[in-house]
Amino acid sequence: MPRYLIRRLGQAVLVVAGVIVLTFAVMRLVPGDPAVAYAGPKATAAELAEARRRFGLDDPLPVQLWNYVRDLLGGDWGTSLHTRQPVRDDLFQAFPASLELVGAALIIALVAGIPLGIAAARYKGRLPDLSVRLSSMLAVSVPVFWLALALQTVFASGLGWFPVAGEYDASLDRTSPLHLYTNITAVDALITGNWPILTSTLSHLVLPALVIAAYPAGVVAQMTRAALIEESSRDHARLERALGFGETAVLTRFALRPALNPVLSLIALVFAYSIVNGFLVEAVFNWPGLGRYAADSIRSLDTPAIAGVTLLVAVLYVIANLAVDLLQGVVDPRVRAR
Give min distance, CB of 288 to another protein, in A: 18
Nearer to another protein among residue 15 and residue 206 (C-beta): 15
Diameter of the chain measured on Cα atoms: 86
Q: In this structure, how many other beta carbons lie within 10 angstroms of the beta carbon of residue 139?
A: 23
Give min distance, CB of 176 to another protein, in A: 32
Nearer to another protein among residue 145 and residue 245 (C-beta): 145
Which residues are CB-contacts of 231 (< 8 A; sequence separation ≥ 6)?
A: 237, 255, 258, 259
Nearer to another protein among residue 155 and residue 245 (C-beta): 155
Binding string, 86-125, against another protein, x = CB under 8 A? ----------------------------------------
Regarding 143 and contact with another protein (CB under 8 A), the answer is: yes
Please give the Cα distance from 120 to 221 (Å, whole number): 8
How far is C-alpha 259 from the chain's CA centre?
Answer: 24
Give min distance, CB of 152 to another protein, in A: 8
Which residues are CB-contacts of 18 (< 8 A; sequence separation ≥ 6)?
A: none
Identified binder of another protein from the candidate list 66, 146, 161, 181, rule CB under 8 A? 146
Window 148-167: residues binding another protein (CB under 8 A): 149-150, 152-153, 157-158
Please give the Cα distance from 43 to 62 (Å, whole number): 28
Q: In this structure, what are the phi and psi dihedrals at residue 286, rounded to the nearest 5 degrees?
A: 50, 45
CB-based contact 318:245 (threshold 8 Å): no
Spatial CA neighbour of 252 closest among 264, 240, 239: 240
Region for 87 from its dihedrals, namely left if φ exceeds 0, alpha if ψ lies in -120 to 50, beta otherwise: alpha
Nearer to another protein among residue 180 and residue 323 (C-beta): 323
Regarding 142 and contact with another protein (CB under 8 A), the answer is: yes
Could you give the count of Cα atoms lying within 13 Å of 204 in the half-sphere of its Cβ? Answer: 23
Regarding 330 and contact with another protein (CB under 8 A), the answer is: no
Regarding 141 and contact with another protein (CB under 8 A), the answer is: yes
Give min distance, CB of 47 to another protein, in A: 26
Regarding 264 and contact with another protein (CB under 8 A), the answer is: no
Nearer to another protein among residue 28 and residue 336 (C-beta): 28
Please give the Cα distance from 101 to 278 (Å, whole number): 8
Give min distance, CB of 277 to another protein, in A: 7
Window 10-69: residues binding another protein (CB under 8 A): 11, 14-16, 18-19, 22-23, 26, 29-31
How far is C-alpha 290 from the chain's CA centre?
Answer: 10
Regarding 9 and contact with another protein (CB under 8 A), the answer is: no
DSSP 59-124: S-HHHHHHHHHHHHHTT---B-TTT-SBHHHHHHHHHHHHHHHHHHHHHHHHHHHHHHHHHHHHTT
Binding string, 279-318, against another protein, x = CB under 8 A? xx---x---------xx--x--x----x--xx--xxx-xx
Give min distance, CB of 140 to another protein, in A: 6
Task: Tell me which residues touch another protein (CB under 8 A).
Answer: 11, 14-16, 18-19, 22-23, 26, 29-31, 133-134, 137-138, 140-147, 149-150, 152-153, 157-158, 272-273, 275-277, 279-280, 284, 294-295, 298, 301, 306, 309-310, 313-315, 317-318, 321
